[in-house]
Amino acid sequence: MQRREALKSMLGLSVAAAACSPFPALANLASANEDIMAQFATSFDKAVLNNPNLIGLKSMSGDIPWQNLTIEGKLPKALRGNFYRNGPAVHQRNGQRYTHLFEGDGMIQHFNFTDTGIQHRAKFVKTNKYTQEQAADKFLFSGPNSKLPGSLPVNKTDIINAANTNIIPVNGELWALWEAGSATAIDASSLDAKGLVNLGENTRYGNSLKGLAFSAHPKIEADGTIWNFGSTVTGDIVLYHLNNRGITQKVNLLKTNYRGGMLHDFLITQNNILIILPSLDRDKTDERLFSAIRFNNSLPMKVLVIDKNTLTLTREYQVDAGFAFHFGNAWEDTDGTIRFDASLYPNCENLHHMSDLMRGKTSDATPANTVLFTLYKNGSAHKQTIAGISEFPRVYDHLTGLQNNLLVTLSSIQSDVWSDSVRVINVNNGKQDTFVYGEDFLVEEHVIVDNSHQEGNGYLVGTALHVPSKRTCVNVFKVGHVSDGPVCRAWLGQALSLGFHGNFLTL
């Protein structure tokens, strides 16, 4: 495509994105008279008095300065670097509370692994939204799901960009990622926010990509190449190819007519991008984002296969109805057969469970299992379910898009709020190596740290909140010996709000 045509096309994209916000009817949210957010705050405050497990869903009050952690066990000498995590940490202000877990302002947790031990600090992402609301000491804007009476106008998504879902290293800085808007650049030394990333800067796309959705689950290949997508309620999906310095190389718009309103993750193989459209519909009479999403059992999941070279659709599969927040990895055989895994739910109860939790209500939402999918060139598909509850899947970074044998997931055996276990699954034979923290812990995503580029080597690093002592700990396991328990555990002096995703940067 010639430069002039490309700019014209991207301008069209930008206009479409501005006119078709991923948040439906935001302009109407401010007109609501009923203060649901105040009702959620009252309900949660009452519930947390009787259910200590809700401690991880309380708000953090401010940044946390450097602190030395108390270490149990021995910190491996090979484990040196920085572990960053991101998650929502302001759920409640001035007697009002968000109605969904996904809405809170992002806070970066930073664990520094050194020869002298492990230090921790935390800092809120100083987005424009956070800065204004912090100064006012109250919410000023409606969230994607929460109706705020008297909300200030929200005419573009980045106004309420919470930068709360993931954090990745890009060209010497960090990017705090959200679901429906721009990445936020973070200074890696100070953790100060540097502003929204303009993906078109210094490229032929100019300012035409400003404000477009850039998902919180980019896939990064071993050489640093970044692939990502962004979705809107219109069903359009924007596909991105960035080089290892975060410079945009290619962008394309995929027309899918998807109306489910929820695309959280995707996959890549060596040659293709996989976009999986879950079996969701939206209740058009409900102006909230997450609460309006319904599971449609008669709607098969679609798997869109997109050529990485052209960013165009080449194949499409239909598989049984289902829903997944997260996928672990995908890869393809030499004959074109594609394989991928998903933490697959039979419905979307868990999405609404995270709204119930915000008012202090626990429920029996049906959990996810690890499901292995195989897509054949003739259009047929096969799936295999691995026993055990599954969420937050991870693989070795160097195998992103390539064949993996091991898959790390969280699991749950006793907890009705959050995960309580971590395990390593051999996807070839189903063998599992599991450590159960127990019902006193709320366990968060664990990541693989390994410099050898050999599956089975390295460590798992992840955080967990110990409910009785109201303290968070960071835990280190040796891969291959997970059931033996952590070789090192380091304790903070307080509890952190439960977060979502992060990454370890080795020195």
The rounded distance, in Å, linking the Cα atoms of 490 and 71 is: 4
Contact assessment for residue 376 and residue 337, using Cβ atoms and an 8 Å cutoff: yes
326 is in an annotated binding site: yes
Nearest residue to 127 via CA among 155, 92, 103:
103
* Residues 464-476 as b or e (16 or more Cβ within 10 Å = b): bbbbeeebbbbbb
- Structure letter (DSSP) for residue 101: G
CA distance 296 to 141: 31
Residues 167 and 503 sit within 8 Å (Cβ to Cβ): yes
d(C-alpha 302, C-alpha 275), whole Å: 8
CB-count burial class (<10 Å; 0-12, 13-18, 19+) for 335: exposed
Structure tokens at 108: 């970066």
* Phi and psi at residue 45, to the nearest 5°: -60, -35
Q: Which pair of tokens denotes residue 10?
A: 């991207």
Residue 501 is assigned to a ligand binding site: yes
Q: What values do phi and psi take at 154, rounded to 5?
A: -125, 90
Instruction: Return the SS3 of 391.
Output: strand
Question: Please, what's the b/e burial string for 21-44 (b: 16 or more CB within 10 A of its CB; e: otherwise)?
Answer: bbbbebeebbebeeebbeebbebb
Other residues' Cβ atoms within 10 Å of the Cβ of residue 271: 15
The answer to whether 458 and 450 have CB atoms below 8 angstroms apart is yes
Count how many Cα atoms sit within 13 Å of the Cα of residue 225 in the half-sphere of its side chain: 17
How many angstroms separate the CA atoms of 386 and 393, rounded? 13
3-class SS letters over 130-162: HHHHHHHCCCCCCCCCCCCCCCCCCCCHHHHCC
Q: Which amino acid is at 374?
A: T
Residue set of the binding site for Fe cation? 217, 264, 326, 501
Residue set of the binding site? 217, 264, 326, 501
